[in-house]
Structure 1
């Protein structure tokens, strides 16, 4: 068995790893590279392998940095099966159709500004391309060990990151490869804890937060309540960029849990994301994947997805109307790194106002507007306009969907024998810190995966 690293090897987007085993070529993830115009351009580059030679694709979960280039892969000649956990299969049409719509809109916008002689902009893929890719999906349940090809078996285990997220176990050539995908935090709300794996001959381990630890979740939730209270007293709006899958559902969960003590009924709450409203419906269909406490909350009043003052805005006109509200609104909108989507329109209107509270609840990748704001930028450029940042900024890391350094180390320590490990899905500072901790605790020298690197299992 041989592993080739092609994406999320030194960065946190573009997840893509190729496994050669038992005469077959299996791709793990096919994610979008995100963060900057340069990153966008990389998505158009040819794949570093012939997609027609790939026998199967395995997806760890539905976030776009893990699945966003799947239609591009099928366009380029891949026609094999695409395996994912059943809830992930339910999420993929929503995620990929939204991505295609953004691609089409970006191309249309560029062509309107195109000067004579400039080449016409094309989308990375279209909604019709997505429909073709979706026909290749094959859902699998958790825990079932399934033969993909003679001599190659796979099993998905709950990763606790988002609905349907999976740790991938792959057996071939008498060896076992484990790909962590993205691991969630233990004791996080809604989802179950990541399943512990006992054995591996090689582990591909995510390292997004390999150099830091989150605040205790109770402290984070208390901070959220304090932010809302301060914003109400100052008469401002609260802006929360959040991905449609994961953080959005957790935020609504906490609104319901703290309905009375946060006095949530006084707010106008907007979920400004047509995609998020569809994702909510998928979560509603998969209560069996929730932990026991979450199932109890869903049976209570108010239901997190049916808060009496929650309004889901579908159309662009409804979204624009929110900007006429100058205080008393909590606006959750995509995308989570403020690198595109409806949140940018609200930021352009609200960032100059001192009474605005900007709350970041997830990782902000290098090159994104979200990262620049977290790093303290006083000006950001949005839709070609320089916007002064006077708003209060809050980074609420305890709501992250990713395990922190302690969580990653605890999960790794659960193997019966510490396996060789290659660190993926992390920036170098994070990976170096995690590698040092692994070596000190277990004597294992972790490999920092790089694009083009190969490892024998």
Structure 2
């Protein structure tokens, strides 16, 4: 086996790893780099391998930093088979079409600027047609715990990673001359004990493990105090007469927040008719997809569905699909909870809501997820006093809340327990900031530890 690294190496986004085994070239994930504008060029760069040479792509889950460059891969010649779970296949369709639409919108804006200044034309990274073409390469559907043959002597098995709907860790085993070799790709591991999804499954032991370290240097706050903190932030903002803006990841986080807001209303912690706006077409579609996949539910959500109850239904909830309706929300003076993408505030509708609420001392912005370096969310969390939005310098007077107990990622304790249970001979750390990786690496015992740079190759 030979493994090379082409994304999420000593950073958190752009997951992309290439395994060569039994005469096959198998890509695990093909994600987009996310953060500041400087990453646009990195997304458009060469992959570090010839897309035409890839036989198979195994997709761990549908987050953009794991699937976002698949249309570009196909555009540049990939003609292999994409294998993933049924839920991930559905969600990826929504994510890629939304990403293509945003790429096209951004290219139009840049083109108007280029026309005014006599600059070179602006092109999207890929188009809606490119995304649709890429979806044609999705082939077999993986079921948790069932082995799939990739080639004679080469198998892959998907295990529930408990991160988002359909997410998986993937164990690949090669049989041939000599002893079998095995490797596990963790994907993104979920935070155990959550209401919506099942806890991560532990795959059988493997010789090597490629694992994420997003929160390898910290522990999460328990979920119940985090829920109480969210409710308190909403009540306090309503009392001040402002709006609550929640930058929201469309997959899993939006559904989890709706679930807990529903609980808060039922238990009297929040007003019965609290106006809640889910201003994200992708999150709305993902919420509908969630209902199709009972194989992923946690016990509490499964019990509600079996009783005929909708775990995401709130009395005052309104889905906002149309752009005109989203713009109309900017006229709300106060008293509303507005959930909008993107979760790191790198794009999407939430930036407009931040533009109209950050300068207001009666409003609040609540961050409930990871914010990568260089993102607007990270700038705000780190205490920026002004931020630039749509050409204007906006003062930050709103109350800011960072509640990390809602994270969909395993924390340091959970990551360490997962790694120790697998007892790998080699542990390869990816998908984490350097400080997080260094802290986590220092905790690992009885294993060779690698922290590959982008483009590095490891013989297994």
TM-score (ref. length: structure 2): 0.96
Asked if 2 retains the 8 angstrom alpha-carbon contact of 1:361 and 1:399, the reply is yes
- Distance in 2 separating the partners of 1:288 and 1:445: 35
Shift of 1:265: 2.1
- Distance in 1 separating the partners of 2:55 and 2:152: 12
Asked if 1 retains the 8 angstrom alpha-carbon contact of 2:194 and 2:298, the reply is no
Residue by residue over 1:240-264, the C-alpha shift from the partner in whole angstroms, topping out at 9 and shown as x without a partner, is 0011101101001101222232224
Q: Which moved more, 1:135-144 or 1:58-67?
A: 135-144
Name the residue aligned to 2:16: 16
- Distance in 1 separating the partners of 2:227 and 2:379: 24
Name the residue aligned to 1:144: 146
Shift of 1:301: 8.6
Name the residue aligned to 1:202: 208
Residue by residue over 1:102-135, the C-alpha shift from the partner in whole angstroms, topping out at 9 and shown as x without a partner, is 0000001111111464221111111111111101
- Distance in 2 separating the partners of 1:302 and 1:60: 30
Asked if 1 retains the 8 angstrom alpha-carbon contact of 2:355 and 2:389, the reply is yes
Q: Superposition RMSD on alpha carbons, in Å?
A: 1.3
Tell me, yes or no, if structure 1 residue 291 matches structure 2 residue 298: yes
Aligned mate of 2:252, from 241, 246, 249: 246
Shift of 1:38: 0.8
Shift of 1:445: 4.1
Shift of 1:291: 1.2
Name the residue aligned to 1:34: 34
Asked if 1 retains the 8 angstrom alpha-carbon contact of 2:189 and 2:410, the reply is yes
- Secondary structure of 1:259 counterpart: helix
Residue by residue over 1:299-343, the C-alpha shift from the partner in whole angstroms, topping out at 9 and shown as x without a partner, is 569733332211111111100111111111000000000011000
Asked if 2 retains the 8 angstrom alpha-carbon contact of 1:71 and 1:129, the reply is yes
Aligned mate of 1:230, from 236, 241, 263: 236
Name the residue aligned to 1:426: 432
Shift of 1:40: 1.5
Matches within 5 A, 1:8-407: 8-114=8-114, 115=116, 117-138=118-139, 139-173=141-175, 174-260=180-266, 261-298=268-305, 303-407=310-414
- Distance in 1 separating the partners of 2:426 and 2:37: 35
Asked if 2 retains the 8 angstrom alpha-carbon contact of 1:199 and 1:419, the reply is no
Shift of 1:199: 0.8
Shift of 1:171: 1.0
Q: Which consecutive segments of 4 or more residues in structure 1 shift more than 4 A?
A: 299-302
- Distance in 2 separating the partners of 1:223 and 1:445: 41
Q: How many residues align structurally?
A: 453
Shift of 1:420: 1.2
Asked if 1 retains the 8 angstrom alpha-carbon contact of 2:27 and 2:54, the reply is yes
Asked if 2 retains the 8 angstrom alpha-carbon contact of 1:101 and 1:126, the reply is yes
Q: Which runs of 5 or more structure 2 residues have no equivalent in the other structure?
A: none
- Distance in 2 separating the partners of 1:230 and 1:85: 42
- Distance in 1 separating the partners of 2:305 and 2:360: 36
- Distance in 1 separating the partners of 2:204 and 2:147: 15
- Distance in 2 separating the partners of 1:258 and 1:136: 43
- Distance in 2 separating the partners of 1:432 and 1:369: 25
Name the residue aligned to 1:456: 459
- Distance in 2 separating the partners of 1:419 and 1:397: 32
